[in-house]
Amino acid sequence: EQIWANLTKLEKATGKTFGKGPRPLLVSVRSGAKFSMPGMMDTILNLGLNDSTVEALAAQSKNERFAYDSYRRFIQMYSDVVLEIDHDHFEKMLSALKKERGARIDTDLKVDDLKELVKRYKEVVKRDSGKAFPQDPREQLKLAVNAVFNSWQNERANKYRNLNKIDHNIGTAVNVQSMVFGNLSETSGTGVAFTRDPGSGKKLFFGEYLLNAQGEDVVAGIRTPSAIADLKKARPSLYKKLETIYKKLEKHYRDMQDIEFTFENEDLYLLQTRNGKRTALAAVNIAVDMVKEKLISKREAVARIEPAQLDQLLHPMIDPKAKVDVAAKGLPASPGAAVGQVVFNSEDAEEWTQTKGVDVILVRQETSPEDVGGMAVSKGILTATGGMTSHAAVVARGMGKCCIAGCSAITIDEEARTFKVGPHTVKEGDIVTLNGTTGEVILGKTALVEPVVAGAFNQIMKWADEIRTLTVRTNADTPQDAEAARGFGAQGIGLCRTEHMFFGEERLRSVREMIFADDEAARRAALAKLKPYQKSDFLGIFEAMAGLPVTVRLLDPPLHEFLPKGAEEVARVAADLGIPEKKLHEKTEALHEFNPMLGHRGCRLAVTYPEIYEMQVEAIVEAACELAARKVKVYPEIMIPLVGMTTELELLANDLRGVADRIIRERRSKLVYMMGTMIEVPRAAVVAGDLAQIAQFFSFGTNDLTQMTLGFSRDDVAKFLPHYIQKGVLKDDPFATLDQQGVGALVQMAVKSARSVNPKIKLGICGEHGGDPRSIEFCHRMGLNYVSCSPFRVPIARLSAAQAVIENSKK
C-alpha cells in the first residue's frame, strides 16, 4: 500500500505516469543499508518500460535510440536480478551484435541494432524463464522490490558482511527513485566522484564520468571512463554546479563524500551521497586535514580511523633499491605492494590459499561483487578493465589490499588460464609483483620493504596517546623485535617467550643433553651450558627496552618439541650426543603425548624439573643486575605460565624468589623485579583471588584461555571453525576476537577478585587478542593496565585504546 501511495505522489511531483505515456515515469529500485556495501546488493534501473512505454519514451524524448537503449538495459538487469537468468547470456549477445555490426563500443550501436537486441533479449527470457518478459509495470515493481530485499541474503553480501563485521540481521531498505538518464544523449552522462582523493587523501575533487551511459557502466568497470578533470574542460558550467554541490555536501556531513551523479544535458542530478571508502593513508591525511580546517575535532579524527586499516600503512612496499622491469602499467587503484602466484578466478584464489597455503594474485578481466571472497584472500588484485571507482578498486581499498585496475596492456585468456603482456605469456601459478601505489605490474618476484610512517600518521598517533588510558606493550622475543616495537610506540614488553631462545645449533644441543640426562646433576650440568646464551639474550632485550618493563615468561612448550624428528636426524643427534639410537628412541617414545597442549608443559615442567626455571631466573636476574650496575634502567617481570592451582604458583614462586633474591643479595644490587603469573587455565581465573595474594601481576594468556574455555584445540580449530562462522554458530574467530561472553566473563571475574585482595596488582593481556580492536575495547572496560601485541599491531592497539575511551565516554 505504501508503495502505491507514494508512487502516486511521485507521479504528481514529476508530472509523469507510471506505466503510461505520453510521459512515462521510470524508476530505479535500489538497496539502502545502514552501512554502505558497494555493489553487494542488487539494483534495477529503467523500471516501468514495456513495449508501449518504450514508444512513448521515444516520442517524448524525441530520441528513439535512447528509449531502446534504456529498454535493453532494463530487460538485462531485470532478468538478471528478478528472473535469475544468467547475465552472461545478455553480455554475450551484446558482444555478438557489436561484432556483427562492426561496433567498437556500446554507443556505436544504432537504434535498429538496439531494437534487434531487445528482440533477442526477449527471446532469451522466454527460453530461460518459460514466460514472456513481464509487460505490467506494477508487477515489475513488486517483484523488483522483493528481489532487492532478497539480495541482502545473496552470497556476496553475506561474505561482505562477514568480512566487515556487519550484523546479518539489520537488513536493508529498498529505495524507489524516479529515473534520470545519463544515456539520454551524447551530452548526457553519469559519474562517480569523491570529494577528496580516496587513495592519498589529497584535497582535490576526484572522480570519473562516462558520456551517454548509465550508472552501472561506471561502477561495473565495463567501459573505462574519463577523469573528472576533463569534465571541467569540456563542460565548465556543469562542472561548476557539481563543484558547488560537492563542497556543500562535504561541509554538511563533515566527511569525505562518495557521490553519484547524472546529467541530462545541462541538468545535474545527485543520485546518492555517502561517506567515501578510502585507503588508510587517505583516512589519516583527511582526518588530520579536517582538524586543521576546523571541520572536526581531534577526538573525531581519532575515532574515524579504522584501526585494522592502519595495517596498510605499516605494510610492505617495493624496495626502492630493487631493479624492476615494468611489464605493464594500470591504474594505481589501491596502494601497497604484493607478490604472489597468479590465479584467474576467486574460487582458485580461495582454494590455493587454503589448501596450498600460497600467496596469490587474483587476475581478472574486471571484478564483480561475487569476487569478494577471492579478493579477501589474495595478496593483490589486477584487472584488465575498469577505473578507479570500479568495484575492484573500491573494494580493494576498503580491504587495504594492493590493487591495479584497468590494466589494458594485459590480455587475459580465461580458458587457457594465461595472460599476455607484451611478448610474455604469464601462466596460472607464475609469480608476479604488483605495485598498487604506482600501478606497475612486474613479472617475477621483487623484494619488498617495510614502509616508513610519518606526518599525519604520527599526528593521529599523538592524539590517540593523549586520549588513551591503556598502556600498550609488545610481544617480542629478540632485541630486534623489541627495537622495532619501540619504534611503533610500544611501552614495554608484555610477553617475551623464552622457548625461541632454546633453538639454534649450539643451544639445541644443550637442551637435548638436558632432556636425555639421567639425573638431576646431569640436567643441571646441561642447563649450566645453556645459561650464558640465555643471559646474553636477556642483556640484549633489557638494553633494547631500557627504561621500560619487560615480562619474561619461563619455558612453556612440552619438551618433545626440542627432539629430533625423522630417522636421519635421530641418527645424527644420537651420534653427536654419544648416546645409543635405541635410548633416543625410547626417550622420544616416553615423551610422546596424546594431547601435548594439555600435557607436560608450562609450570608443570618446573614442578617436575625445578632446575629449568631456576636456571632461567638466574640468567634473567644476573643480566638485569649487570645492566643496573651500568645504570641501565631495567624492570624485569618474571612470569610463570600455565598455572591453574594456587599451590603450583606458591611452590614455584617461593623457589624462584629465593633464587632471585640470593643473586641480588650476593651482588649487593638494588634491582627490583616482579614475580607474576599468566592466567590461561580457566581454573586460574576462578581462583584468581588466591593467586593474587602471591603474584604481583597477572597477564591473561587468552590464547590458551580460549582454547581451554571453549575446548577448541588451537592447532585443530581450522578444521571446523570456518563452518561455525559460515553457519553463524560463531560470529567471530574466538582466537582472533575475544569471546566476551565466555572467556571474557572469566577475565572479568579474575580482575574483580584479584583487585579486591591486591588493589595494586598489575593486569595485562598478552594473547593474540591484545592487538584486536574489539578485544582491546573490552580490556579497557575491564580496567586492565595494559595490552600487549606483536610489534606491527602496536599502532593499531594505541589507536584502538583511544577509541575505547571515546566510545565508552559516549556511553
Residues 631-635: contacts with CB within 8 Å, 24+ apart? Answer: 632/542, 632/543, 632/546, 633/546, 633/547, 634/542, 634/546, 634/550, 634/671, 635/492, 635/548, 635/549, 635/550, 635/672, 635/673, 635/674
Q: Scan residues 283-342 and list those touching Mg ion (CB under 5 A).
A: none
Residue nearest to Mg ion (CB): 704
Least separation in angstroms between residue 676's CB and Mg ion is: 14
Q: Are 573 and 567 in contact (CB under 8 A)?
A: no
Which residue number, 279 or 702, has a Cβ lying nearer to Mg ion? Answer: 702
Least separation in angstroms between residue 801's CB and Mg ion is: 23
Distances (CA, A) of 292 to 289, 296, 300, 468: 5, 8, 12, 22
Picked from Mg ion, ligand PEP, none, the partner binding residue 420 (CB below 5 to 8 A depending on kind) is none
DSSP string, 383-416: ESS--TTSHHHHHHHHHT-EEEE--TTEEEETTT
Q: How far apart are CA 42 and CA 150, in angstroms?
A: 9
Note if 402 is an active site residue.
no
For cell 532478497, name the residue. Answer: 150
Please select the residue that binds Mg ion; options are 557, 701, 734, 791, rule is CB under 5 A: 701
Which residue number, 54 or 640, has a Cβ lying nearer to Mg ion? Answer: 640
Please select the residue that binds ligand PEP; options are 117, 213, 426, 495, rule is CB under 6 A: 495
Please count the other Cβ atoms lying within 10 Å of the Cβ belonging to residue 49: 28
Q: Scan residues 757-796 and list those touching ligand PEP (CB under 6 A).
A: 766-767
Question: Per CB under 6 A, does 501 bind ligand PEP?
Answer: no
Q: How far apart are CA 592 and CA 561, in angstroms?
A: 10
Which residue number, 158 or 702, has a Cβ lying nearer to ligand PEP? Answer: 702
DSSP string, 9-37: HHHHHHT-EET-SSSEE-EEEEEEESS--
Question: Per CB under 6 A, does 797 bind ligand PEP?
Answer: no
Which residue number, 481 or 704, has a Cβ lying nearer to ligand PEP? Answer: 704
Listed ranges 50-58, 237-245, 630-638, 672-680: which one lies at the site for Mg ion (CB under 5 A)? 672-680
Least separation in angstroms between residue 684's CB and ligand PEP is: 11
Least separation in angstroms between residue 593's CB and ligand PEP is: 16
Please count the other Cβ atoms lying within 10 Å of the Cβ belonging to residue 415: 7
Question: Which residues touch 280 (CB under 8 Å, ≥6 apart)?
Answer: 305, 306, 309, 310, 311, 312, 313, 400
Q: Scan residues 539-558 and list those touching ligand PEP (CB under 6 A).
A: 556
Q: Scan residues 661-700 and list those touching ligand PEP (CB under 6 A).
A: 680
Q: How far apart are CA 464 and CA 485, in angstroms?
A: 17
For cell 606458591, name the residue. Answer: 650
Question: Which residues touch 501 (CB under 8 Å, ≥6 apart)?
Answer: 477, 507, 533, 534, 537
Please select the residue that binds ligand PEP; options are 190, 433, 459, 702, rule is CB under 6 A: 702
Q: Are 741 and 731 in contact (CB under 8 A)?
A: no
Give the 3-state secondary structure of residue 627: helix
Which residue number, 286 or 495, has a Cβ lying nearer to ligand PEP? Answer: 495
Which residue number, 258 or 733, has a Cβ lying nearer to ligand PEP? Answer: 733
Catalytic residue among 402, 403, 407, 766: 766
For 88, list phi and psi in degrees, rounded to 5: -60, -40
Give the 3-state secondary structure of residue 753: helix
Which residue number, 215 or 767, has a Cβ lying nearer to ligand PEP? Answer: 767
Least separation in angstroms between residue 797's CB and ligand PEP is: 15
Which residue number, 317 or 597, has a Cβ lying nearer to ligand PEP? Answer: 597
Least separation in angstroms between residue 155's CB and Mg ion is: 37
Least separation in angstroms between residue 783's CB and Mg ion is: 22
Which residue number, 622 or 704, has a Cβ lying nearer to Mg ion? Answer: 704
Pattern of binders to ligand PEP over 613-632, x per CB under 6 A? --------------------
Which residue number, 383 or 790, has a Cβ lying nearer to ligand PEP? Answer: 790
Which residue number, 306 or 556, has a Cβ lying nearer to ligand PEP? Answer: 556
Picked from Mg ion, ligand PEP, none, the partner binding residue 64 (CB below 5 to 8 A depending on kind) is none
- What angle in degrees, to the nearest 10, is found between the helix axes of 743-757 and 773-782? 30
Picked from Mg ion, ligand PEP, none, the partner binding residue 255 (CB below 5 to 8 A depending on kind) is none
For 44, list phi and psi in degrees, rounded to 5: -125, 130
Question: Which residues touch 261 (CB under 8 Å, ≥6 apart)?
Answer: 190, 191, 192, 193, 209, 242, 268, 269, 270, 271
Note if 391 is an active site residue.
yes
Listed ranges 36-44, 240-248, 346-354, 702-710: which one lies at the site for ligand PEP (CB under 6 A)? 702-710
User: Could you tell me how far CA 481 lies from the centroid of its own chain?
Assistant: 23
Give the 3-state secondary structure of residue 541: helix
**Amino acid letter at 192?**
V
Please count the other Cβ atoms lying within 10 Å of the Cβ belonging to residue 315: 19
Question: Per CB under 6 A, does 701 bind ligand PEP?
Answer: yes
Listed ranges 91-99, 627-635, 675-683, 746-754: which one lies at the site for Mg ion (CB under 5 A)? 675-683
E strand or H helix that includes residue 706: helix 702-710
Catalytic residue among 315, 391, 560, 780: 391
Picked from Mg ion, ligand PEP, none, the partner binding residue 24 (CB below 5 to 8 A depending on kind) is none
Least separation in angstroms between residue 680's CB and Mg ion is: 5
Least separation in angstroms between residue 559's CB and ligand PEP is: 15
Listed ranges 151-159, 266-274, 305-313, 701-709: which one lies at the site for ligand PEP (CB under 6 A)? 701-709
CA–CA–CA angle 205, 27, 115 (5° rounding):
100
- Cell of residue 763, nine digits: 593486569
The residues facing 405 across adjacent strands are: 331
Write down the H helix ranges in 273-401: 280-292, 298-304, 346-351, 372-377, 391-399
Please select the residue that binds Mg ion; options are 255, 289, 704, 733, rule is CB under 5 A: 704
DSSP string, 79-104: HHHTS---HHHHHHHHHHHHHHTT-S
Which residue number, 636 or 767, has a Cβ lying nearer to ligand PEP? Answer: 767
Alpha-carbon torsion angle 650, 652, 654, 659, nearest 10: -170
Q: How far apart are CA 132 and CA 123, in angstroms?
A: 8
Picked from Mg ion, ligand PEP, none, the partner binding residue 766 (CB below 5 to 8 A depending on kind) is ligand PEP
Picked from Mg ion, ligand PEP, none, the partner binding residue 189 (CB below 5 to 8 A depending on kind) is none
Picked from Mg ion, ligand PEP, none, the partner binding residue 495 (CB below 5 to 8 A depending on kind) is ligand PEP
Pattern of binders to ligand PEP over 704-743, x per CB under 6 A? x---------------------------------------
Question: Per CB under 6 A, does 703 bind ligand PEP?
Answer: yes
Question: Per CB under 5 A, does 477 bind Mg ion?
Answer: no
Which residue number, 537 or 704, has a Cβ lying nearer to Mg ion? Answer: 704
Least separation in angstroms between residue 495's CB and ligand PEP is: 6
Least separation in angstroms between residue 799's CB and ligand PEP is: 22
Q: How far apart are CA 388 and CA 192, in angstroms?
A: 10
For 792, list phi and psi in degrees, rounded to 5: -65, -20
Pattern of binders to ligand PEP over 68-87, x per CB under 6 A? --------------------
Picked from ligand PEP, Mg ion, none, the partner binding residue 690 (CB below 5 to 8 A depending on kind) is none
Listed ranges 57-65, 184-192, 676-684, 734-742: which one lies at the site for Mg ion (CB under 5 A)? 676-684
Give the 3-state secondary structure of residue 177: strand
Positions annotated as catalytic residues are: 391, 766
The residues that touch Mg ion, with contacts defined as CB under 5 A, are 680, 701, 704
The residues that touch ligand PEP, with contacts defined as CB under 6 A, are 495, 497, 556, 680, 701-704, 766-767
